[in-house]
Amino acid sequence: MKLKKFASSVLAASLLVGASGGVFADGIATAYLKISGLKFTDAGGSKLTVGTDLIFNSAVNNEGDTSATLNGTNEFHSDSAPASAAGLDILQSCVGACPYGENDFSSFLTKPTLPAGNYVVGDALLSGASVNFPGVVLPDVTAETLAEVGLKTGVGTAAGNNLGVQTSFSWIAGATGTMHYSYIADAYIRAALTPDVAGTQANASIGFTLTVTNSTLGGALVHAHEPLAINGAASRSSTVPGDDFDYSVVATGFSGSFAVVADQRYQLTIDHFSDANAEVIPEPASIAILGAGLLGMGMVRRRKRLAS
């Protein structure tokens, strides 16, 4: 999805290793979000066109990152492409025995809850455009992000990833009127632990926001779209052995609109992300602190540009 920028996040943690090889709960955290059919239209439902409805005064690019970190081993990929290219495929980041191939966004729906081993995987794919370009009619945006962590029984394991697509651009309104947008969301998140000894936690969350500001009026907020169903409500955490929490959104439509004034400059930002992490935290009496620092879960843009 194109049209907005994503924020960065940094996670810091200590790497803890048990002195006694205790048994801890297996953990799994999954965060998947798909946005499809995203487009900007006029009051009559026609898709907006650059150069007439929108006069761009900045380059429009799609950008995205994926990352995966397991016990300090990190894999990271980032990429960008012009919005007119109608697509951005960020390479999958994988550490450990990842159960998915590149751009495999469906297998997790049918796989067992418990991981077969330790792994972290993050992947993202974007296609289409939310507006048309001169002489080019493009399909509407589809963007998918998947973040998953699996921790098999063990001590001293910590893993996580955050990823997303983001797009941001500035434009001048070609006429006074109302801009409309619509899309369909599908999502699944899960945080689960086996009923073993306490000390493992799993967390998963997703998010999608769309923000418009008026640069002519000093950045005044024009519109903020942050639906609860795929933001605040879409977060799950498990800290007690036997916890198994999941949440899903199936083919749910969202839409909105905002007013623009001719010849005024606006900034649009779309943020789409998936986060997942899990960690084994032994009891204080049974651990030796081997090291502390950034586990590489962060320093990664957690949201991908959804360029229009």
Pairing of strands 87-96, 12-18: unpaired
Distance CA 84, CA 93 (A): 26
Which element (helix H / strand E) includes 29?
A: strand 27-41
Confidence (pLDDT) at 19: 26
Q: Helix, strand or coil for residue 22?
A: coil
Which range has highest mean pLDDT (31-40, 76-85, 290-299)? 31-40
pLDDT at 116: 77
Query: For 24-38, 65-79, 146-160, 290-304, which range has the lowest pLDDT when averaged over its residues?
Result: 290-304
Give me the pLDDT at residue 157, please: 61
- Mean pLDDT, the chain, integer: 77
Distances in Å between the alpha carbon of 263 and those of 11, 71, 175, 193? 42, 52, 7, 55
Global confidence as pTM: 0.81
Which tokens belong to 149? 């962590």
Categorize the per-residue pLDDT at 52 as very low, low, confident or very high, splitting at 50, 70 and 90. Answer: confident
Mean predicted confidence (pLDDT) in 14-33: 58
- Determine the pLDDT at residue 102: 93
User: Quick check: helix, strand or coil at residue 194?
Assistant: coil
Give Cα separations from 124 to 4, 91, 147, 229, 293 (angstroms): 16, 7, 9, 21, 27
- Stronger pLDDT, 282 or 110, i.e. the higher one: 110
Task: Summarize pLDDT for 209-253 with one digit per residue, the tens.
Answer: 999 999 999 999 999 999 999 987 777 887 888 888 889 999 999
Beta strands in 152-299 (DSSP E): 158-173, 177-193, 200-214, 220-225, 235-238, 244-260, 265-280, 287-294
145-201 confidence digits (pLDDT tens) = 999 988 886 555 666 666 677 887 888 998 899 999 999 999 999 888 888 767 788
> Pick the residue with more confidence: 151 or 123?
123
SS3 135: coil
Sign of CA dihedral 100, 104, 108, 111: negative
**Which one-letter DSSP state was computed for residue 229?**
G
Domain assignments of the chain as residue spans, ordered by start: 8-301
Cβ–Cβ under 8 Å, residues 69 and 294: no
